[in-house]
Amino acid sequence: MIRRFKPNVLVGHDELGEYGHGQHSLNTYSLKQVLDKTNHADFFTDSYKKYGGWEVPKTYFHSYSKNKIILNFDEPLANFNGKTAFKVSKESFLEHKSQTGKRFYNWIYKDYQKATEIEKYSPIEWGLYKTTVGEDKIKNDLFENIEFEVKKQMNKQFFLSPKQKLMFLLLSIIILVKIKQILTLKKL
């Protein structure tokens, strides 16, 4: 998938699986194992032949303790009818039916008005695990130091505002949750 989609930024669960979820831990462990191999022809040679190699410029893990950044999930987003990223994430999380039990009651149903109010498993805290484009200096932007292909190809300046970047991240998360739901239903 990394070779096929060639992401500029990857985000993953924290290394302990957030609240100890084994699949989340395994997901991050697996990601760490392949990050340095996806650009090598001798690693899964068929996908290398089909898509070529790719080295992800930036990889973040949730709650990672090094190279910390804080994302603003509390700013209203025009493309989501003025909802904040936090509100959209809460609504999206409700679609993840197997995860909406007691363990997440406070995060989903408690009267949190802002993501910054959440201390345990805070959605705004991330850390830069790996970079090929330099460490973050601003510490609030997943796409800092990323030069998009559009910019290179068009030879024009192409910038995403922080709101647009956050919207892009949220849409990616929503799409991944929906894909997981579809794949889970197909297995049944």
Give the per-residue pLDDT at 28: 85
DSSP state of 156: S
Long-range CB contacts (within 8 A, 24+) of 2-8: 2/34, 2/38, 2/54, 2/56, 3/38, 3/47, 3/48, 3/50, 3/51, 3/52, 3/53, 3/54, 4/47, 4/50, 4/51, 6/51, 6/54, 7/56, 8/56, 8/57, 8/58, 8/143, 8/146, 8/148
Cβ atoms within 10 Å, residue 84:
20
Torsion of CA 55, 56, 61, 64, to 10 degrees: 70
* The two three-digit tokens of residue 68, written as one number: 């910390």
pLDDT digits (tens, 9 = 90+) for 135-155: 999 999 999 999 875 545 444
HSE of 163, CA atoms in CB hemisphere, 13 A? 11
The pLDDT value recorded for residue 163 is 73
**Which residues in the chain show pLDDT less than 50?**
151, 153-158
Q: Integer distance in angstroms from the first to the last C-alpha of the chain?
A: 23
Return the amino acid letter for 158.
F
